Amino acid sequence: MLDQDTWRFINTFAPWFSAFGTFAAVCVSLYLSRSGVRQRLKVRIDERLLIQQGVDSKEAPRFLFVNAVNLGTPDVIITMVSWRVGMFRPSTAMQIADDNPYSKKLPVTLKFGEEATLLYRLDPDPTLDWVKQFCESLIVGRPWWKRRPIWVVLHASTGRDFAAKVSGKLLKTIRARAKQLEGKT
């Protein structure tokens, strides 16, 4: 059994534990109240085929697929799509929207849980070849392009930018075309 002086000593820690608990509760409540207010957008980018009934898959049109899902509580208004190549001194370019019936028109408002899909045609036609124009504008002729990351950036009306790194099949397509174009110059 503990004597009275030991119990007094133990009881002097009670206000400290109470103060720490109060401080922790305030920190958690502030964090939770602020986390739901932020705009959060999940952005994906890839190359996709549009498969249609009665059309051979080899002749199916290829599209640049940009998808955004609103994961935050406030609405997000996407006003523009742009590209950024590199990190420290990036090259940037704006993407002009295609007149495509399968794609959302900009600006697009996304409520919580809603998604927007933007499709840009990747035509083999030389006048409309998006990959060639992209490579000539942002990649070819610039040093270290093979190591530079490529990002698609969705711009919101609040001034916030949401970026996704290009990877997978689309990145291979861009790098192969850039290498091919660099060999021609």
pLDDT digits (tens, 9 = 90+) for 162-182: 999 998 888 888 888 888 887
> Domain limits at 21?
4-34
Are both 93 and 159 inside the same structural domain? Answer: yes
Helices 130-138, 168-184: axis angle to 10 degrees equals: 70
Q: How far apart are CA 71 and CA 61, in angstroms?
A: 30
The winner for highest mean pLDDT among 12-21, 58-67, 92-101 is 12-21
Instruction: Provide φ and ψ at 70, rounded to 5°.
Output: -80, 115
Are both 103 and 21 inside the same structural domain? Answer: no
Q: Residues 129-148: what's their mean pLDDT? A: 76
Give yes or no for a contact between 75 and 110, defined as CB atoms under 8 angstroms apart: yes
Are both 95 and 30 inside the same structural domain? Answer: no
The winner for highest mean pLDDT among 48-62, 87-101, 137-151, 165-179 is 165-179
CATH label of the domain that carries residue 65: 2.60.40
Give yes or no for a contact between 164 and 69, defined as CB atoms under 8 angstroms apart: no
